[in-house]
Amino acid sequence: MVAVELEEKLIDKVLTIGHYQNAQKAIDIILAEYIKTHAPEANAFDKLCVELDISDDEVDNLFSRDKDKGRSLHL
């Protein structure tokens, strides 16, 4: 976690304009919106990539077949 110091006047103005309950919530929402608007959009390849630090068991689970998938029982 990083500590950020803000002037009291700035915090009060943000809370008033944005109708936020508290400064922490205001900062969380503002930073989340900033990330959404400025983060590069992931392309299809990025969405399909597997993290490099994934364990071997997790990789095996990605490719294991559930033998019962798609089957249904009619009683």
Say what the pLDDT of residue 67 is: 72
Neighbours of 27 (CB within 10 A): 15
Say what the pLDDT of residue 66 is: 72
Pair of tokens at residue 22: 């508290």
Say what the pLDDT of residue 52 is: 78
Say what the pLDDT of residue 58 is: 82
Q: Which residues contact 17 (CB under 8 A, 6 or more apart)?
A: none
The domain locations on the chain are: 8-63
- In the predicted model, residues of the chain with pLDDT beneath 50 are none
Pair of tokens at residue 33: 């919106």
Say what the pLDDT of residue 59 is: 78
10-23 tens-digit pLDDT: 888 888 888 888 88
